[in-house]
Structure 1
Amino acid sequence: MKRLLPTLILVIVCIGGFWYASSQNFFKDKTVVDEKKLFTLAAADIQAISFQAKNAASSESPDAVYDLTELTKKDAGWEMLKPTAYPINSFSVDSWNEAFAALTYEGIVEENATSLADYGLAEPKQFYQVSLKDGSTKKLLIGSPLPIEGHVYAKFADSPKIFDVTESLLEGLNKQPLDFVNKNAVMVAYDNVNSIQMDWKGSKWLLEKAQADKTVFESTWKLDGKDRKAEEGTALLDKVVALSTAELPKAAVEVKMEAPELKFTITESEAGKATISTFNGKIDKENVWIAKQGGAWAFSVPLASIQEAFDASKPAATPVPSIAPTVAP
């Protein structure tokens, strides 16, 4: 019996340890998260969005202004209705839809609230609404902060239930119109570009695709008639198509384009049909307003970025080797 005693003690200890570990959920899959979804919907089913968020310029003010943004899905993609019909980057809208569809809540504060004013939800200024394929809508109202930092009261427009929602989840929805705008000043079909000429302050360069049967990435190029490798040609093309704005565009008619200092002439080809697009640019202090000829919008691009795109055509400077000074004997 004495020989078995240590073994029995070890067995008892192991059983006790297993029981304790089980009670502490040590054997649960830590990757499983019990998410409390606010609703069940697919982001792809969203056909229109409307929300009111704090204006970026007054977001820290107690009297912050709340701006209304509205977008709707058309056959050709997303279009902005309010504040105005800016050109849209559909990927940005899709990201917003994904963030909305993924919203969760921390807990239910009250099942059947009768005094919405207690939660800042009697006349809420902040809301997010989506319209779905089946014709239904989901409108989430945002109220006052909870006593817990980083949490706010929220409810659906058609329900008395009050939720506790973390503000960090709403940050992905608090967008400004600029966040949805297609910011590219020179919009072309990259794979279809055959040539591009840049005229800047009286000087110019011409980049031409040398092999029509190859893609822009495979073809060699000619720069002002001189052969260039594929990567050299696309590097210069990239500089042009990467020109973008950091502010809301203006209606093209608002920008006076007499005697523009900048001009891009771009030839594209698709299915054997060639098209030529012209983009003009006018200097305005430290920026250049660029508008496509016949286009609706003008984009403000830093003057330094324009100069960098022009200078990219120049060969890189060859470093001069340093010569060690001669020490007299």
Structure 2
Amino acid sequence: MRKWMPTLVLVLIFAAGVVYASSHNFFRESAPAPQKLVAVGRDAVTGIRIDKTGSEPVELVMQNGKWVMKLPQTYPLNSYAVDNWLNALEAATAGDVIEGQPKDPAKYGIGGGNGWNITVTDSDGNAHKLAVGSTLPAGGSSYVQLESGAVISVAQDSLSGLLLSVTEFTDTTPFEWDKDHLSSLEWEGASSSWVLKRGESGSDWKLNGKKVKEEDVSSLSDKLINIATSEQLRSTSELKNESHRFTLTVTLNDDKAPKVYQGWTTPDQTDTVWIIPPDSNWAYAVSAANVEEIEQTAKSIKPAEPESGSDSGQ
């Protein structure tokens, strides 16, 4: 028995090693990294086109290092939407191959004027095309044809960030400024006027010459900046017989010229105010109620209470 002891010890050590290695996945092949849906890095993308049945095509191009909208109109672009779209493209992965050489893509809801079509152009001028079809019977994924080739499944979570409309790419907020650099707001309206100015100390504010709380100033500024349109923008040349509703002059402490925003109403849409930002050819439709709320917010701001211990009797 003693002569077998060394061999038995080695066997036990080997068995223990196998168990240890197995428990730590030493013998298991690592899973391959998911294949990207489009093999183009976000920094190499220079063109995006999205076509959807029954909707206007959306086309974005990179010009002089900046994204601009080319179709359906040269609307002002929401840079955050473009950035999120590129992130979604970078993260999108291909699923299972459904059919390698499909003879009839229409059975997957692809082609024949159905679904979505995406074209991504890279810096070398190559066009990468995706056709999005129907939802798989099990749900959660859609059929996608790559470059008119294989039909694969792609998770709808990956696709949702890519299937955007023109409205989702358009900057829908007419007012824009850095609140920290705000020096003054001057409102000349059909029903009210007011002037809000930052004091010399930089931390105090006055509305029509009376000191007000900074939180009230922030609330008024935020209400203006957060106004957004839910309608398609109109060219300023399309506005006819308009009536002046307000002028908002915004001054920043950056030594640049003030920004002047104009608000107009038209006889055919009296409940809508068309806001035109400075140096813009586009008008934003907002509810007249939103404008009235701004005026009411300014009216409701009360003068700040004197600081405790100050001599208010003089």
When normalised by structure 1's length, the TM-score is 0.73
1:220 matched residue in structure 2: 204
Work out whether residues 94 and 153 of structure 2, in 8 Å CA contact, stay in contact via their aligned partners in 1. yes
- 1:43 corresponds to: 42
Relative to structure 1, the CA distance from residue 224 to residue 90 in structure 2 (aligned partners, 3 Å threshold; closer, same or farther) is same
2:78: which partner in 1?
89
SS of residue in 1 equivalent to 2:57: strand
Distance in 2, matches of 1:243 and 1:146, equals 39
What residue in structure 2 maps to residue 314 of structure 1? 299
Shift of 1:247: 1.4
Post-superposition CA distance 1:152-196 (Å, at most 9, x none): 3222225x2221223343222221111011111223454443221
- Decide whether the 8 Å contact of 2:243 with 2:264 is kept in 1: no
Shift of 1:151: 3.2
Size of the aligned set, in residue pairs, is 282
In the TM superposition, residue 316 of structure 1 has moved relative to its aligned partner by 5.7
Decide whether aligned partners of structure 1 residues 225 and 45 sit closer, same or farther in structure 2, where only a CA change above 3 A counts.
Answer: same
Structure 1 residues 149 and 232: CA distance shift in structure 2, 3 A? closer
In 2, the alpha carbon distance for the partners of 1:96 and 1:35 equals 19
1: CA distance, partners of 2:271 / 2:240: 16
| Equivalence map 1:1-329=2 (5 Å) | 35-54=34-53, 65-75=54-64, 77-121=66-110, 123=112, 125=114, 126-157=116-147, 160-211=149-200, 218-256=202-240, 258-270=242-254, 272-282=255-265, 284-292=269-277, 295-315=280-300
The change in CA–CA distance for 1:149 and 1:208 in structure 2 (over 3 A counts) is: same
Q: List per-residue Cα deviations over 1:127-161 (Å, max 9, x = no partner).
A: 11111223322111223443333433222225x22
Query: For the Cα contact (< 8 Å) 1:266–1:276, is it kept in 2?
Result: yes
The answer for unaligned runs of 5 or more in structure 2 is 1-14, 303-314
Report if aligned partners of 1:263, 1:281 keep a CA contact under 8 Å in 2: no
Whichever residue aligns with residue 83 of structure 1, its letter is P
Q: TM-score, normalised by structure 2?
A: 0.76
Aligned residues of 1:50 and 1:69 also touching (Cα < 8 A): yes
Q: Distance in 1 between matches of 2:259 and 2:111?
A: 56
CA contact (8 A) 2:212 2:301 kept: no
Q: How far apart are 1:76 and its partner, in Å?
A: 6.1
Shift in alpha-carbon separation, 1:228–1:141, aligned structure 2, 3 A? same
Q: Are residues 299 and 102 of structure 1, via their aligned partners in 2, closer, same or farther at CA, if it must alter by over 3 Å?
A: same
Partner amino acid, structure 2, of 1:296: N
Say if 1:205 and 1:89 are closer, same or farther in 2 by CA, change over 3 A.
Answer: same
User: Which position in structure 2 is the counterpart of 1:325?
Assistant: none
